[in-house]
Amino acid sequence: MRKMTYTKAATCGENFKARVTPEQNEKMQRAWFAAGKTWIGGCVKVEALDRTFLFLRKDLSITTCEAYFTDSFDEEIELIDDLPQHDFASQQEVTLWVAQGNKAKHMENESVVGFKDGVLWDFAENRKCHWQFLDFDLWQKHTPPRLIRVNGVEVPAPLESLDGLDVVFVPDFFKGGFKKFEIKDMSDVLLKTVIDLKIGYATKEDAIARAEAMQIFEVVE
């Protein structure tokens, strides 16, 4: 049986069928909709996660009937997670990136490495370091987060899009905390509001920072 990633299955244009767990079912639906495709009938809502047989044709369809699934002439595939995307393909690529004045971040230990005054520096530990980038596939390009100024305080800039996220954190401007929303449960109106008002964040820490800055008031004598 052929193994295929969710993205490949959604975009290659071939007809397939797949047995799925609820988790695989959701992943396949999200990949399908991300590719601009729909259920039969045009719906793009994640649903029917308890059903176990998917048909990936021109449109997406689903069944609980194993006999119908087995008798179908579509090729059965095993769905697997999308392959990780690496920023660097070799030790030399990481070295060149850093040598050009950029920073690289290690995906496991959170080290952020670049040059400071001509010395290789770990900015996360604030110390000199001697990384050789042999584990190049664990390094990614590091870009400092964009900042905005709120009431004189620099805080992370809000998200410009919610694409690819499962949850979004919104500052609670009254309590100084945050509210967490599952993207799949949000109405179209709420999604538009979060984007239009520029109050969506990918982490709770960023949302809290924004909320706390909004609570700063200047006393006027």
pLDDT band, residue 68 (cuts 50/70/90): very high
- Cα of 58 vs its chain's centroid, Å: 26
Burial label for 162, CB within 10 Å (0-12, 13-18, 19+), is middle
Query: What pLDDT is recorded for position 218?
Result: 58
pLDDT band, residue 108 (cuts 50/70/90): confident
pLDDT band, residue 51 (cuts 50/70/90): very high
Which of the pair, 84 or 219, is modelled with greater confidence?
A: 84
With a cut of 90, say whether residue 84 has pLDDT above it: no
With a cut of 90, say whether residue 205 has pLDDT above it: no
Query: What pLDDT is recorded for position 174?
Result: 82
pLDDT in tens, 143-198: 777 899 988 889 999 998 888 788 999 999 887 789 999 999 999 999 999 999 99
Tell me if 31 sits within 8 A of 80, measured CB to CB. no
The pTM assigned to this predicted structure is 0.44
Query: What pLDDT is recorded for position 160?
Result: 87
Q: What is the mean pLDDT of residues 125-134?
A: 92
With a cut of 90, say whether residue 110 has pLDDT above it: no
Distance CA 131, CA 109 (A): 13
With a cut of 70, say whether residue 221 has pLDDT above it: no
Which of the pair, 34 or 175, is modelled with greater confidence?
A: 34
Distance CA 183, CA 163 (A): 10
Query: What pLDDT is recorded for position 200?
Result: 93
